[in-house]
Structure 1
Protein backbone atom coordinates (compact mmCIF):
# COMPACT_ATOMS: atom_id res chain seq x y z
CA UNK A 1 0.00 0.00 0.00
CA UNK A 2 1.43 3.34 -1.00
CA UNK A 3 0.98 6.17 1.45
CA UNK A 4 0.20 8.81 -1.16
CA UNK A 5 -1.48 6.65 -3.80
CA UNK A 6 -4.56 8.86 -3.98
CA UNK A 7 -2.50 12.04 -4.20
CA UNK A 8 -0.28 10.55 -6.92
CA UNK A 9 -3.33 9.70 -9.03
CA UNK A 10 -4.79 13.17 -8.54
CA UNK A 11 -1.52 14.86 -9.47
CA UNK A 12 -1.10 12.69 -12.56
CA UNK A 13 -4.65 13.54 -13.69
CA UNK A 14 -4.03 17.23 -13.09
CA UNK A 15 -0.76 17.15 -15.01
CA UNK A 16 -2.48 15.44 -17.92
CA UNK A 17 -5.31 17.97 -17.91
CA UNK A 18 -3.00 20.97 -17.71
CA UNK A 19 -0.90 19.57 -20.54
CA UNK A 20 -3.99 19.42 -22.73
CA UNK A 21 -5.00 22.99 -21.93
CA UNK A 22 -1.47 24.29 -22.66
CA UNK A 23 -1.51 22.63 -26.10
CA UNK A 24 -4.81 24.28 -26.93
CA UNK A 25 -7.00 21.19 -26.79
CA UNK A 26 -10.65 22.09 -26.63
CA UNK A 27 -12.17 21.72 -23.17
CA UNK A 28 -14.83 19.12 -22.49
CA UNK A 29 -18.50 19.98 -22.84
CA UNK A 30 -20.00 21.79 -19.88
CA UNK A 31 -16.81 23.66 -19.00
CA UNK A 32 -16.14 27.35 -19.06
CA UNK A 33 -17.95 30.29 -17.55
CA UNK A 34 -21.11 29.75 -15.57
CA UNK A 35 -24.33 31.31 -16.82
CA UNK A 36 -24.27 34.55 -14.84
CA UNK A 37 -27.76 35.59 -15.91
CA UNK A 38 -29.37 32.50 -14.38
CA UNK A 39 -27.23 32.48 -11.25
CA UNK A 40 -27.40 36.22 -10.63
CA UNK A 41 -23.71 36.36 -9.74
CA UNK A 42 -20.23 36.59 -11.12
CA UNK A 43 -19.24 34.04 -13.77
CA UNK A 44 -16.64 31.55 -12.59
CA UNK A 45 -14.39 29.28 -14.62
CA UNK A 46 -12.76 26.13 -13.34
CA UNK A 47 -9.50 24.98 -14.89
CA UNK A 48 -9.07 21.51 -16.35
CA UNK A 49 -6.51 20.75 -13.65
CA UNK A 50 -8.99 21.60 -10.90
CA UNK A 51 -11.67 19.42 -12.50
CA UNK A 52 -9.20 16.53 -12.77
CA UNK A 53 -8.23 16.86 -9.12
CA UNK A 54 -11.88 16.91 -8.11
CA UNK A 55 -12.63 13.76 -10.10
CA UNK A 56 -9.54 11.95 -8.81
CA UNK A 57 -10.39 12.68 -5.18
CA UNK A 58 -14.06 11.67 -5.49
CA UNK A 59 -13.50 8.25 -3.90
CA UNK A 60 -12.28 8.01 -0.32
CA UNK A 61 -9.86 5.17 -1.06
CA UNK A 62 -10.56 3.65 2.37
CA UNK A 63 -11.51 -0.01 2.75
CA UNK A 64 -14.13 0.25 5.50
CA UNK A 65 -14.27 -3.54 6.01
CA UNK A 66 -10.52 -3.74 6.55
CA UNK A 67 -10.60 -0.83 8.98
CA UNK A 68 -13.37 -2.54 10.96
CA UNK A 69 -11.41 -5.82 11.01
CA UNK A 70 -8.24 -4.12 12.28
CA UNK A 71 -10.25 -2.23 14.90
CA UNK A 72 -11.80 -5.46 16.12
CA UNK A 73 -8.41 -7.21 16.24
CA UNK A 74 -6.94 -4.36 18.29
CA UNK A 75 -9.92 -4.41 20.65
CA UNK A 76 -9.59 -8.20 21.07
CA UNK A 77 -5.83 -8.00 21.59
CA UNK A 78 -5.18 -10.26 18.59
CA UNK A 79 -3.64 -7.68 16.25
CA UNK A 80 -0.05 -8.52 15.35
CA UNK A 81 2.33 -6.03 13.75
CA UNK A 82 4.50 -7.42 10.94
CA UNK A 83 7.65 -5.34 11.45
CA UNK A 84 9.34 -6.81 8.37
CA UNK A 85 6.49 -5.80 6.07
CA UNK A 86 6.42 -2.29 7.53
CA UNK A 87 10.19 -1.92 7.07
CA UNK A 88 9.95 -3.15 3.46
CA UNK A 89 7.21 -0.66 2.64
CA UNK A 90 9.10 2.20 4.29
CA UNK A 91 12.22 1.39 2.26
CA UNK A 92 10.18 1.10 -0.94
CA UNK A 93 8.52 4.47 -0.33
CA UNK A 94 11.87 6.08 0.48
CA UNK A 95 13.36 4.76 -2.76
CA UNK A 96 10.39 6.11 -4.72
CA UNK A 97 10.70 9.55 -3.15
CA UNK A 98 14.46 9.65 -3.77
CA UNK A 99 14.01 8.61 -7.41
CA UNK A 100 11.52 11.48 -7.91
CA UNK A 101 13.92 13.99 -6.37
CA UNK A 102 16.78 12.88 -8.62
CA UNK A 103 14.76 13.05 -11.84
Structure 2
Protein backbone atom coordinates (compact mmCIF):
# COMPACT_ATOMS: atom_id res chain seq x y z
CA UNK A 1 0.00 0.00 0.00
CA UNK A 2 1.39 3.37 -0.96
CA UNK A 3 0.62 6.46 1.01
CA UNK A 4 0.98 9.70 -0.87
CA UNK A 5 -0.04 11.40 -4.06
CA UNK A 6 -0.83 9.23 -7.04
CA UNK A 7 0.29 10.33 -10.49
CA UNK A 8 -2.32 12.15 -12.51
CA UNK A 9 -2.95 12.12 -16.25
CA UNK A 10 -2.29 15.87 -16.41
CA UNK A 11 1.43 15.28 -15.84
CA UNK A 12 3.74 15.12 -12.84
CA UNK A 13 2.53 18.41 -11.41
CA UNK A 14 -1.15 17.54 -11.90
CA UNK A 15 -3.87 20.08 -12.54
CA UNK A 16 -3.55 23.63 -11.30
CA UNK A 17 -4.56 23.83 -7.66
CA UNK A 18 -7.47 26.03 -6.71
CA UNK A 19 -8.40 27.22 -3.26
CA UNK A 20 -11.23 24.83 -2.44
CA UNK A 21 -12.02 23.41 0.94
CA UNK A 22 -14.33 20.48 1.55
CA UNK A 23 -17.74 21.23 2.98
CA UNK A 24 -17.89 21.27 6.76
CA UNK A 25 -18.95 17.99 8.30
CA UNK A 26 -21.39 17.64 11.14
CA UNK A 27 -19.87 16.65 14.48
CA UNK A 28 -20.11 12.91 15.07
CA UNK A 29 -22.38 13.41 18.07
CA UNK A 30 -24.87 15.32 15.91
CA UNK A 31 -24.82 12.64 13.24
CA UNK A 32 -25.18 9.85 15.82
CA UNK A 33 -28.23 11.55 17.34
CA UNK A 34 -30.09 12.01 14.04
CA UNK A 35 -33.07 9.77 13.47
CA UNK A 36 -33.04 8.01 10.14
CA UNK A 37 -36.53 7.33 8.85
CA UNK A 38 -37.01 4.96 5.92
CA UNK A 39 -38.60 6.40 2.83
CA UNK A 40 -41.50 4.78 1.00
CA UNK A 41 -39.12 3.49 -1.68
CA UNK A 42 -36.50 2.14 0.72
CA UNK A 43 -35.55 -1.49 0.17
CA UNK A 44 -36.16 -4.02 2.92
CA UNK A 45 -33.26 -4.76 5.27
CA UNK A 46 -31.00 -7.38 3.73
CA UNK A 47 -28.60 -8.07 6.60
CA UNK A 48 -28.74 -8.90 10.25
CA UNK A 49 -26.18 -7.20 12.49
CA UNK A 50 -25.15 -8.52 15.89
CA UNK A 51 -22.73 -6.70 18.19
CA UNK A 52 -20.17 -8.65 20.16
CA UNK A 53 -20.09 -8.21 23.92
CA UNK A 54 -16.92 -6.12 23.54
CA UNK A 55 -18.64 -3.84 21.02
CA UNK A 56 -21.69 -3.50 23.28
CA UNK A 57 -19.42 -2.59 26.18
CA UNK A 58 -17.59 0.00 24.07
CA UNK A 59 -20.88 1.45 22.81
CA UNK A 60 -22.27 1.71 26.33
CA UNK A 61 -19.22 3.68 27.48
CA UNK A 62 -20.63 6.70 25.67
CA UNK A 63 -19.06 10.12 25.49
CA UNK A 64 -18.20 10.20 29.20
CA UNK A 65 -15.28 7.76 28.89
CA UNK A 66 -12.79 10.64 28.58
CA UNK A 67 -11.59 9.68 25.11
CA UNK A 68 -12.88 12.84 23.40
CA UNK A 69 -10.67 15.90 23.62
CA UNK A 70 -12.64 18.88 22.29
CA UNK A 71 -9.66 21.22 22.63
CA UNK A 72 -7.53 18.94 20.47
CA UNK A 73 -10.26 18.74 17.85
CA UNK A 74 -10.47 22.56 17.83
CA UNK A 75 -6.67 22.88 17.44
CA UNK A 76 -6.60 20.41 14.55
CA UNK A 77 -9.64 22.01 12.90
CA UNK A 78 -8.03 25.45 13.13
CA UNK A 79 -4.75 24.13 11.70
CA UNK A 80 -6.59 22.52 8.78
CA UNK A 81 -8.56 25.68 8.03
CA UNK A 82 -5.36 27.76 8.11
CA UNK A 83 -3.54 25.28 5.85
CA UNK A 84 -0.97 24.52 8.57
CA UNK A 85 -1.95 20.90 9.27
CA UNK A 86 0.69 18.48 8.03
CA UNK A 87 0.54 14.72 7.82
CA UNK A 88 3.58 12.57 8.51
CA UNK A 89 3.10 9.74 6.01
CA UNK A 90 6.15 7.88 7.33
CA UNK A 91 4.74 7.77 10.86
CA UNK A 92 1.38 6.54 9.56
CA UNK A 93 3.07 3.84 7.48
CA UNK A 94 5.23 2.75 10.42
CA UNK A 95 2.19 2.43 12.68
CA UNK A 96 0.24 0.50 10.02
CA UNK A 97 3.11 -1.96 9.65
CA UNK A 98 3.46 -2.31 13.43
CA UNK A 99 -0.28 -2.92 13.83
CA UNK A 100 -0.27 -5.51 11.04
CA UNK A 101 2.71 -7.26 12.62
CA UNK A 102 0.98 -7.28 16.00
CA UNK A 103 -2.15 -8.76 14.44
CA UNK A 104 -0.16 -11.45 12.64
CA UNK A 105 1.74 -12.31 15.82
CA UNK A 106 -1.46 -12.59 17.87
CA UNK A 107 -2.99 -14.92 15.26
CA UNK A 108 0.18 -17.04 15.12
CA UNK A 109 0.11 -17.43 18.93
CA UNK A 110 -3.50 -18.69 18.85
CA UNK A 111 -2.71 -21.57 16.47
TM-score (norm 2): 0.40
Return the structure number with greater relative CO, CA threshold 8 A, min gap 6.
Answer: 2
TM-score (norm 1): 0.42
| Larger helix percent | 1
